[in-house]
Amino acid sequence: MEFPINEFQQAETPFYYYDLGLLRRTLAEVKRTAGDVHVSYAVKANNDARILKLIAEAGLGADCVSGGEIEASLAAGFPAGKITFAGVGKTDREITIGLTAGIGCFNIESLPELEVINELAGKLGKVAPVAIRVNPNIDAHTHSYITTGLAENKFGINLEQLADAIDAVRSLPNVSLRGLHFHVGSQVLSMEPYAHLCRRVAEIEASFPDVEFKVINVGGGLGIDYENPDANPIPDFGAYFSTLHNNLQLRPGQEVHCELGRSIVGQCGSLISRVVYVKHGTKKDFVIVDGGMSELIRPALYDAHHPIQNLSAAAGGELMKYDVVGPVCESSDVFATDELLPETRRGDLIAFRCAGAYGETMASNYNLRHLNPSIYYED
C-alpha cells in the first residue's frame, strides 16, 4: 500500500487513513463473486460516513446493531428496505426508529424482544418483518471473544427453542416471518464452519417442512490476512460464496443473505501515529507512539497483532527489536513486543495496518484523548 507521506507530515496524529481505491476494488470483487447472494455490510465494523456512502453506492444492504447505525445508514443512502437490525438488547426507541423507517428485517434474538416489536408495530399500525436468529451451535475456531455461534453465547435462540419462537411469530398479528438468521463468529479463515453452517441450515429446514423461510441469512465473519496485507489485500470472496452455493440446499424462491464487515473494510484502513519517544530501558527498547488502545483497542482486547510499518525510515536498513507501546495509562496498551523495525526515531510516522475494521468504531476518549480527522486516498 502506498502512503501519502507528505500529506501525513502536515497532519495532527493519530488519525485513521483510508484507501478508498482499495475499498472500491474490494466491493467490485464482492459483486463479481457473489452471484445471487444478497450481501449486506455490517456497519459496526466501520461507520465512517464516506465509507458507508461508497458501500451504499455499490448496492449492498446495511446490517445494523443500534438505532444510531440505522440512522447513519439511512443518511449514507442505504434504502430502508435493505437495512436489517440485529442485537440482543434493542430498546423501544431503537425499534421505533426501525419501524418508522420501514427497515427490511428485524433479526430477533429472544421472545420478550419479539413481543415488544409486535406491540410497538401495532401502535404504529405496521407489520414488522422479522427473522429468527438461531444459535447454530457451531465452533468457528476463532478467538473466544468473537465466537458467537455456541449454545452458551448470549446471541440468538437455541435450536431447542426454535419451534416455540416460530409459533410465537405466527401467533402475533404485527410481525411476519421473513426467515432465519445465523452468525458463526468473526475472523473466520477456514471455509469449514460455513460448510457446517449450510448443512445445519438444511437440517433445521427439514424439521419445519411447512414453514416458509423466504430468507436464509448466514451472517458474516469472513476473515482477512492480518499478517500479509500487501500480498492479500482482498479476501477470497470467491471461496466464500462458492462454499455457500455448493452447500446450501435452497427451496424454490428462497433468498440467501450474508452480512460481511471485516472482510470489506479491514484492509483499507491504517492507524497513523507519530513516535513521541524512543526509550532505551535496561532490558528493552520502547517505541512510544501518540496513538494507543484508545484509538485501536484490538491488541489489548483480543491479543491481536497489527503489522507495524515505519513510514519515515529508509528501507533496507538493519532491523532492531522494539516494544511498540501507546501512551495510555494501562499495561495492556501495547501494540507489539519484540517487533523488528528499522532504527526508529522521535517524529517518525508509524502505520498500524489492517485497522479498517473494529478500529475507529471502537475508539474511545479514555484518558480524554483525541482522535484527529481521517485522511482518505482515492485513486
Ligand X SMILES: *Cc1c(COP(=O)(O)O)cnc(C)c1O
| Footprint of ligand X (CB under 6 A) | 42, 44-45, 63, 86, 183, 186, 219-222, 259-263, 357
Residue 340 CB, shortest distance to ligand X, in Å, is: 29
Closer CB to ligand X, residue 256 or residue 341? 256
Closer CB to ligand X, residue 219 or residue 359? 219
Residue 94 CB, shortest distance to ligand X, in Å, is: 15
Closer CB to ligand X, residue 243 or residue 310? 243
Residue 63 CB, shortest distance to ligand X, in Å, is: 6
Q: Which residues contact 370 (CB under 8 A, 6 or more apart)?
A: none
Closer CB to ligand X, residue 73 or residue 310? 73
Closer CB to ligand X, residue 44 or residue 306? 44
Residue 265 CB, shortest distance to ligand X, in Å, is: 8
Residue 287 CB, shortest distance to ligand X, in Å, is: 29
Residue 357 CB, shortest distance to ligand X, in Å, is: 6
> SS3 for the chain, per residue?
CCCCHHHHHHCCCCEEEEEHHHHHHHHHHHHHHHCCCEEEEEHHHCCCHHHHHHHHHCCCEEEECCHHHHHHHHHHCCCHHHEEECCCCCCHHHHHHHHHHCCCEEEECCHHHHHHHHHHHHHCCCCEEEEEEEECCCCCCCCHHHECCCCCCCCCEEHHHHHHHHHHHHHCCCEEEEEEECCCECCECCCHHHHHHHHHHHHHHHHCCCCCCCEEECCCCECCCCCCCCCCCCCCHHHHHHHHHHHCCCCCCCEEEEEECHHHHHHHEEEEEEEEEEEECCCCEEEEECCCCCCCCHHHHHCCCCCEEECCCCCCCCEEEEEEECCCCCCCCEEEEEEEEECCCCCCEEEECCCCCCCHHHCCCHHHCCCEEEEEECC
Closer CB to ligand X, residue 1 or residue 189? 189
Q: In the complex, which residue's CB is closest to ligand X? A: 261
Residue 45 CB, shortest distance to ligand X, in Å, is: 5
Closer CB to ligand X, residue 9 or residue 91? 91
Residue 154 CB, shortest distance to ligand X, in Å, is: 11
Closer CB to ligand X, residue 205 or residue 259? 259
